[in-house]
């Protein structure tokens, strides 16, 4: 196994790990989702001695919580997909773009993204991807 193959294998594994962690962390807003559902379905429980909160506040919690969960899961799925493509040495441009996007997520995504970019920019790695995608590096 060459050094490039070893690096791609490790990057693929780390993409699986970061994707799994991202999917788990994306579940944290479920608290907001549950609170929002309680505000919508049982507003009298939050009223205390006053009037219950308006329903739009509960719907705001539900929509924002669901949005954050959905975006987090989509991002986690894209990171996992990039890991799969790295292992198969396919879709070079997708892997390179995802490495750049991963740099946004401190600290693990940044480290993973930078190392992925460094490895993918090697000419020998580009050749490995070109063998699996004859004619173009996409």
Q: Is the pLDDT of residue 93 over 90?
A: yes
Question: How far apart are alpha carbons 45 and 111 in whole angstroms?
Answer: 46
* The model's pTM: 0.87
State the Cα angle at 98 between 136 and 108, rounded to 5°. 145
* Residues 47-70: tens digit of each pLDDT: 677 788 888 999 999 999 999 999
Termini Cα distance of the chain: 24
**pLDDT of amino acid 135:** 61
In our burial notation (b when 16+ CB lie closer than 10 A, e otherwise), range 69-98 reads beebeebbebbbbbbbbbeebebbeebbeb
* Residues 101-116: tens digit of each pLDDT: 999 988 899 999 999 9
**pLDDT of amino acid 60:** 95
Taking Cα atoms as reference points, which of 113, 94, 96, 119 lies closest to residue 22? 113
* Residues 34-53: tens digit of each pLDDT: 999 999 998 887 767 778 88
Question: How far apart are alpha carbons 52 and 73 in whole angstroms?
Answer: 33
């Amino acid at each position: 196994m060459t050094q490039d193959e070893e690096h791609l294998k490790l990057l693929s594994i780390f993409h699986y790990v970061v994707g799994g962690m991202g999917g788990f962390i994306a579940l944290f807003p479920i608290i907001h989702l549950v609170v929002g559902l309680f505000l919508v379905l049982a507003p009298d429980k939050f009223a205390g001695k006053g009037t219950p909160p308006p329903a739009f506040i509960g719907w705001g919690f539900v929509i924002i919580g669901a949005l954050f969960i959905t975006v987090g899961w989509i991002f986690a799925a894209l990171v996992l997909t990039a890991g799969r493509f790295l292992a198969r040495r396919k879709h070079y441009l997708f892997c390179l773009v995802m490495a750049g996007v991963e740099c946004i997520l401190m600290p693990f995504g940044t480290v993973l993204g930078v190392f992925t970019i460094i490895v993918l920019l090697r000419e020998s790695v580009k050749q490995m991807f070109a063998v699996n995608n004859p004619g173009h590096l996409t």
